[in-house]
Structure 1
Amino acid sequence: MNPDTGEILDFVIEARDEAPHTINLVGIESPGLTSALPVARRAVRLLAEREHLTLNKSFNPRRKGIVSFSDKTTEEQADLIAKEPAYGEIVCRCETITRAEILQALNNPLGVDTVMSIKNRTRALMGRCQGGYCQTRIAAIIQEEKQKEPTEILYSRGRSQMFTGWVRV
């Protein structure tokens, strides 16, 4: 709620004295993509009011995306498999997501390691089975790649543990 007008806000972008060096971005999950640029500009402006910002001339705003196996021709798919055998292992049958794509998502600079973060970056778990086939396989890849115990595998954030002990995959 806006403290000045009393109106209900769709999302909140604020800086607070009790949380230095941070900007709160609240309620942005659903419309976040379409409003990402103005939200980012406002967050930077708020941060600049409180912090001394310097331009990083070596910053590259373009990141290399995850190579989508299913978008390739049969010949391109064969080339990908020849270069990286993990493209030959389909983890999500419904969306044709490969182990290589899951590994690319896990090893990106943002350091993702939850099942939902893999879903958001690769489309795995979004097919007709809604993860019935691939969810435990993705959890096993996270466990193996990030050296985690089964009880440390999270579905999303916080305390959303997927398992309470060993699970046969």
Structure 2
Amino acid sequence: MERNFVSVLIVLLAVSYTLAKETTTKEGRKDTKEAKETRPKLPQTLSRGWGDQLFWTQTYEEALFKSKTNNKPIMIIHHLEDCPHSQALKKVFAEHKEIQKLAEKFILLNLIYETTDKHLSPDGQYVPRIVFVDPSLTVRADITGRYSNRLYAYEPQDAALLYSNMQKALHLLKTEL
């Protein structure tokens, strides 16, 4: 019994020592595990980095309802968190002051999953993809990017075209009233 107690005590001391041991980083400074864990994690917002100051809807159904009741077009951004093309477009979108300002006039939704609504993927499921929907709940197939094989795809260098298409979506809304 005494031998078991001593063995358990030795194992506990060894585990405690291992967990409390300091590690040295590449820069040569000492860093404890506690210091790494105390950094606050920021909560994930609905913007997912596309514009934290903008108001984003949570679901497609919510976006449709708000579009209809507020008479605003919807801009739906389909993307993936681990897609380098989506990340590059997100960076440009979030840093482009004119796009951010114009985005305030839209009901915004970004999706990191595919929807079952085939209207939101008229030419296939790819990312990044941006689709506009007007308040009559019609997907605007006439507002496209520059690619013939991926009509709703945008790349970082397409920021001016995206801005122009956002203006077009708003202009079409005004002319149809």
- The answer to whether the superposition gives a TM-score over 0.5 is no
Question: Normalized per residue, which structure has more helix?
Answer: 2
Question: Normalized per residue, which structure has more strand?
Answer: 2
TM-score w.r.t. length of structure 1: 0.27
Larger RCO: 1 or 2 (CA < 8 Å, sep 6+): 2
Please tell me whether Structure 1 or Structure 2 has the larger radius of gyration of its CA atoms: 2
